[in-house]
Amino acid sequence: MKNLKAIILGVLIITCLEQALYAQKLTLQSPNKKITIELFNQQNSNTGEWYLKVLYTLDATTTESISRIDLGLIRADQAFSKELTLVKAGRPVLINERYTSVHGKRSVRSNAANEIITSFQNPDKTKINLILRAYNDGVAFRYEFPEGHEAVAVKDELTAFTISRETSRWMEKWNTANEGYYTPMSDDKVQQQEWCYPALFNTKDKTCWFLLHEADLDRNYCGTKLSNTLDATKYKLTFPDPRDGRGTGTVEPTITFPWKSPWRVVIMGTLQDIVASTLTDDLSAPSVIKNTDWIKPGPVSWNYWSSNHGTKDYKIVTRFADLAADMNWPYTLLDWEWDGMGNGGNLEDALNYIRAKGVKPLMWYNSGGNHTYVSSTPKDRMLTHESRVIEFTKLKKLGVAGVKIDFFESEKQNMIQYYLDILNDAAQFQIMVYFHGSLVPRGWARTYPNLMTYEAVRGAEWYNNTPDFTMAAPEHNAILPFTRNVVGSMDYTPVTFTNSQYPHVTSYGHELALSVLFESALQHFADRPEGYYNLPDAPKAFLREIPTAWDDTRLLDGYPGKEVILARRKGNDWYIGGINAELREKKKSVKLDFLADSVKYKLTLITDGEHDKAFSTQYLLVDKNTSIDVPILRRGGFAAVIKPEL
C-alpha cells in the first residue's frame, strides 16, 4: 500500500544508489509539487560534502529560491561534514496528520508532507541521518543520531543558507530580547552581522517568498541564530554568544542519544501562504496536556503602558479590573511591583476585588537567577522546581489564572531547559504562562498549549522607552504580520488611542485594526481606561467582542512595510483589520470572496474619519460577491466585523 501510495502521489523522484553508478541528486517534492528539495554531493560522488537546493514552481515558472544549504555537524568526538558517505535513502513516507489547537491562527491544523530519511556515515562508521520533509507551504530538515552512548557536546552546526544578493530581505539584528526593528535590504545594501529568527526573503523575480526559522527546539539543544558575518550571501546557523545571560550557561549544547536536532524550517510560497502557515507548530511535538479545557484565551487589561508603576497602586489596579469587567475582557494583569502594593490595599485585597468583578488575575514574575541583571522582585520564585511548586500552589489558591515571566536574556541550552521546565510545572497546576524578554516561538505552544504568548517583539511598550518608535511604528506594524507573528503568538500590547511617554502618529483606525492584525492568545489591550471608555459605540463594541484565538486566517492584501489587510474567522463570524504604513492616503478595494456561498452577512465597517483621531462607521448587507471600497488615511487603518444575517 505504501508503494502504491507513493506512485499515485508522485511523492518522490530518486536517481541514486544504483550499485554500478555514482549518483549526485535526490529529489523530494511537496504534495502539490510546487516545492522541490534536491540533495547534491559536492564531489559528484557517494562520499564527500552534501548540500540541499530548494526550488519553487508557480504557474509553470520554476525559481531557484535557495541555491545552496550546507549541511553538517561537528561533535566534540567526531565530525559529520566533509567525508560523509551516503548509505541509504529510505522509502518515501506520507506524513498526514490532523490536530486541533486551543489558540493561534487556526483551530484545526493539517500536518501533511512527504518525508524521506537519508542515512550517512562518517569515516569512523558512525551513523547520522538527514530527515527531509516537503510541505505545500515549505520545507524542513533535521539531523538525527539514531544511536550513541555517552552524552557529547556539539561544537558547531554547519547548516548555512546561501541566498543571492538580489533577493530582497527583511531581517532583525540579533538581540537577546528579539525586540529590534526589521531592516529591508537587497543588492549592495545587504548588511553583514548576526540576525534573529524569523527572516523574510523575496526572490528577484518576485514569485517566491520564504521565511527562515527553526521549530521543535527541545532540552537537548540550544537556540540558534543566523549569521552572515563571513559571507554576505551565506547565513550560517550559530550558537548563542558566550556573554548572553550574563555569561551563565555553556554555549555548546550537550546532547544525549538517540538525538534529533530542531527542525530547520523554510516557510515558502506566496505572501498569502506565508501568513497562513502553521508550519512551526506542525513540525513540533504534540500536546503533552490531555485536558485543555482550563486553557482560555482572551483579552487582558494592562496598566503598565499608561502608568509604569501602576501595579504598585491599589486604586489603579482596581480601575483596570473595572475596565476588564466593563469591556467583557476575562483578565487583568498585575505587572511588576505587585509585592509592594499600597494606597488603599495590598495584593490580597486586589485579588479579592478582581475576582469579585468576575475577572481573573494574571501576575508578573522576574525569571530570576544570575542570568539577568534585572533585580525587580519577586525575582527567584520561578527559578527551581521546588520554588515553582510552592508559588504555583499559592497562586492556585488565590485564583490566579496565569503568570507572565520576564527577562530570560539567553538561548543557551540551560535556558531552553528552564523555559520548558516552567511550562511543565505550570501545566501540573493548570496555570497559563507567557514569556517576556524572551526567544521567539519555536512551536512550544503545540506541545504546551498553556503557553499563551511571547513578547519577542518591539511592541507598544516602546512608546515608553525611546522617541524613535513614534515615527517607526507604522512601517514596523506593517512588517510584523509577515515576519514575527507568522511563527506564533505575539504580545505586542496593541490598541492604544491615548499617548504614553512618546506620542503616536498612527490613526485611531490603525490602532483598532491591530486587534485583528496581531495574533496573541492573551491580547493585552494597553491603553488607560478612558482611552476605551471615550470611544464611539461601534469601536467600543468591536473591542468588547474581539476574539483572541481563531479558526482561520487569510491575507487579503499587503506588502511588508507598506500595508496589510488580514481576515480572521471565529465560528461563522469574520473580522478584518487593515493598516496603511505610508505617507499617502489610499482607497483599497476589499473583496469578500472568502465568505460562505449563498449566505447574507451584516458588515460593520469602522474606518478612519475626517482626521486621524476620528472614526466613520458604516453598516452594510454583503455576500461573497461583494467588494467594499475603504478609504485609509496616511498611517491609517480600518476594522470590520462580518456576521451571518439572522
Average pLDDT score over residue span 168-195: 98
Rounded-to-integer distance, Cα 199 and Cα 448, Å: 25
Q: Among 283, 361, 277, 264, which residue's Cα sits nearest to residue 321? A: 361
Q: What is the pLDDT of residues 389-406, one digit of tens each?
A: 999 999 999 999 999 999
CA atoms within 13 A on the CB side of 116: 22
- Report how far residue 247's alpha carbon sits from residue 594's, in angstroms, rounded to the nearest whole number: 51
Q: Rounded to the nearest 5 degrees, what angle is found at the Cα of 228, between the Cα atoms of 439 and 200? A: 55
Q: Are strands 298-302 and 331-334 parallel, antiparallel or unpaired?
A: parallel
| Domain segments of the chain as ranges | 2-282
Q: Could you give the CA distance from residue 67 to residue 81 in angstroms, rounded to a whole number? A: 19
Query: For position 5, what pLDDT does the model report?
Result: 40
Contact status, residue 644 vs residue 601, Cβ threshold 8 Å: yes
Q: Hey, is 103 helix, strand or coil?
A: coil
- Cα separation, 518 vs 523, in Å, equals 9
Q: Report pTM.
A: 0.96
Q: Summarize pLDDT for 123-148 with one digit per residue, the tens.
A: 999 999 999 999 999 999 999 999 98
Which residue in 266, 137, 168, 268 sits closest to 209, CA to CA? 268
Q: Which of 70, 265, 235, 214 is nearest to 165 (CA)?
A: 235
**DSSP reduced 3-state for 525:** strand
Burial (0-12, 13-18, 19+ Cβ within 10 Å), 589:
exposed
**pLDDT one-digit tens code per residue, 401-459:** 999 999 999 999 999 999 999 999 999 999 999 999 999 999 999 999 999 999 999 99
| Cα–Cα dist 72/502, whole Å | 48
Asked whether residue 319 carries a pLDDT value surpassing 60, the answer given is yes
pLDDT digits (tens, 9 = 90+) for 28-58: 999 999 999 999 999 999 999 999 999 999 9
The secondary structure of residue 101, as a DSSP letter, is: -
Lowest-pLDDT choice from 89-93, 509-513, 526-530: 89-93
Q: What percent of the chain has a predicted confidence (pLDDT) above 70?
A: 96
The candidate with the shortest Cα–Cα distance to 328, out of 350, 306, 355, 298, is 298
Answer whether residue 15 shows pLDDT above 60. no
* Class level of CATH domain 2-282: mainly beta
Contact indicator for 514, 460 with CB cutoff of 8 Å = no
3-state SS, 625-639, equals CCEEEEEECCCCEEE
Calculate mean pLDDT across residues 199-205: 97
d(CA 141, CA 160): 12
Environment class of 189 (CB within 10 Å of its CB; exposed 0-12, middle 13-18, buried 19+): exposed
pLDDT tens digits for 254-268? 999 999 999 999 999
* Pairing mode of beta strands 360-366, 331-334: parallel
Mean local confidence (pLDDT), 573-598:
98
Rounded Cα–Cα distance for residues 294 and 43 (Å): 56
How high is the pLDDT of residue 24?
Answer: 52
To the nearest whole percent, how much of the chain has pLDDT over 90?
95
The H or E element spanning position 263 is strand 263-269
Distance of CA 289 to the CA centre of its chain: 21
Q: What is the mean pLDDT of residues 290-305?
A: 98
Query: What's the Rg (C-alpha) of the chain?
Result: 25
pLDDT in tens, 74-101: 999 999 999 999 999 998 899 999 999 9
pLDDT at 148: 87
Q: Going by C-beta distance under 8 Å and a sequence separation of 6 or more, which residues neighbour residue 16?
A: 23, 24, 25, 26, 86, 89
| CB of 304 closer than 8 Å to CB of 491 | no
pLDDT of residue 16: 37
- Reference 459, options 435, 476, 445, 479; nearest CA is 476
How confident is residue 253, by pLDDT bands cut at 50, 70 and 90? very high
Question: Is the pLDDT at 163 greater than 80, yes or no?
Answer: yes
Task: Categorize the per-residue pLDDT at 11 as very low, low, confident or very high, splitting at 50, 70 and 90.
Answer: very low
